[in-house]
Amino acid sequence: MDIINLHILSTAILTGAIWVIQLIHYPSFRYIENKLFKAFMVLHIRGIMFFVFPIMVIEICTGSYLLFQGNLSLLYICAMIILYLIWLSTALIFSGYHSKLKNNKDDKIINNLVKYNWLRTVGWSLRLILLFMI
């Protein structure tokens, strides 16, 4: 498999994953009992890190490699800007939400997680569309 196809595949997998997380997984946080929530978050974080993080690394590495190799179409540059914004929001916003939820259940944080995760959901979806248009 060549690098562009690996990049598109990783984006497709992450797009599917973010939709499942957005529509099912994050909203389900509201239904976990308080006494079980801390153990649930350990499971969630471990599972996400095991599944999503390696694919995110593949996506950003292959995408950046292609960008620095001179693939400078406007659609590709836009797709990469979105990817960098996704990583930035993950580091600055979403990891903080998860860190706070590791300690105890907080409905306000869960609501923010669901609400603001739409940015990543739309971002990955738009990236996939842009990549298919190239």
Domain assignments of the chain as residue spans, ordered by start: 3-133
Nearest CA to 42 among 101, 107, 117? 101
Residue 43's Cα: distance from chain center in Å?
Answer: 17
The token pair that represents 23 in the structure block: 């529509």
Distance CA 41, CA 19 (A): 19
Q: Strand, coil or helix: what is 70?
A: coil
- Euclidean distance between the first and the last CA atom of the chain, given in angstroms as a whole number: 17
| Tens place of pLDDT per residue across the chain (134 aa) | 899 999 999 999 999 999 999 999 999 999 999 999 999 999 999 999 899 999 999 999 999 999 999 867 999 999 999 999 999 999 999 999 999 999 999 999 999 999 999 999 999 999 999 999 99
Distance CA 77, CA 83 (A): 10
Residue 66 phi, psi dihedral angles, 5° rounding: -65, -40
What's the pTM?
A: 0.94
Which pLDDT belongs to residue 1?
81
Angle at CA of residue 124, ends 121 and 127, nearest 5° = 145
